Amino acid sequence: MSAVVIGATGGIGSALADLLEERGTPVLRLGRGTTPRLDLLDEASIAACAAAAGDGLRLVIDATGFLHDARFGPEKSLRAIDPAAMAHSFAVNATGPALLMKHFLPRLGREGRAVFATLSARVGSIADNHLGGWYSYRASKAALNQLLRTAAIELSRTHKEAVCVALHPGTVDTGLSAPFARAGLEVQSPRQAAERLLAVIDGLATRQTGTLLDHRGETIPF
């Protein structure tokens, strides 16, 4: 199996898997609705899926993420911080991806180019935070960026040509972003976003490991 897409039942993940298959790349699609089933809140399922994927992987894409649901939404002020909502954001946006790295990074090919990419967000950048708000989402994505950076350093010791990156997909017409799209903001279709993200992945250099890039390939400061 040469490529794995996690979160493949979501808008961006499904589009990424479709595009890869159109290129002729075999893809293992993983998520809560797939067989085998992968649940970010269940490490045993992650370990089992990594074992099913096998060794020598060339591309692993984590297209998961949580911003809101029927219970929790992004906070507009300190008064809105809720510990349960924050814990869930960290579980899905930081701890879950960390467990993906724990189990999937060792299965990347040791020789030649291999890529692990996880979907982060510009709002996770501390340097780029000029508006405030969205405490849990911002903090959990900032944590993801740090986890990715740290894992990239460790991986580089054994996988010299591997690249680990966090990618900001921009605003995409999915259930995650739709309620927050505003006039004048570029909203991409899932396929457009997937095309841009794959173009960035295709152009990655080894020196870019451990960085946060947007969907145009531009570096976003942490």
Structure tokens at 131: 């508006």
Mean of the pLDDT values across residues 127-148? Answer: 97
% pLDDT > 90, the chain: 93
Cα 24 from Cα 172, distance rounded (Å): 25
Mean of the pLDDT values across residues 172-185? Answer: 69
Asked if the model's pLDDT at residue 188 lies above 70, the reply is: yes
Cis peptide before 36 (omega within 30 of 0): yes
Q: Where residue 174 falls among pLDDT bands split at 50, 70, 90?
A: confident
Instruction: Name the nearest CA neighbour of 103 among 31, 44, 167.
Output: 44
Asked if the model's pLDDT at residue 185 lies above 80, the reply is: no
Chain centroid to CA 46: how far? 15
Q: Where residue 43 falls among pLDDT bands split at 50, 70, 90?
A: very high
Asked if the model's pLDDT at residue 177 lies above 70, the reply is: no
- CATH architecture of the domain with range 3-214: 3-Layer(aba) Sandwich (3.40)
Q: What is the pLDDT of residue 184?
A: 60
Mean of the pLDDT values across residues 64-93? Answer: 96
Asked if the model's pLDDT at residue 108 lies above 60, the reply is: yes
Asked if the model's pLDDT at residue 4 lies above 70, the reply is: yes
Asked if the model's pLDDT at residue 181 lies above 60, the reply is: no
Cα 39 from Cα 41, distance rounded (Å): 5
Q: What is the pLDDT of residue 96?
A: 98
Mean of the pLDDT values across residues 59-70? Answer: 96
Task: Kindly compute the dihedral angle of the four CA atoms of residues 58, 199, 211, 179, in this order, to the nearest 10 degrees.
Answer: -110
Asked if the model's pLDDT at residue 182 lies above 60, the reply is: no
Q: Where residue 186 falls among pLDDT bands split at 50, 70, 90?
A: confident
Q: What is the pLDDT of residue 2?
A: 85
What residues does each domain of the chain span?
A: 3-214
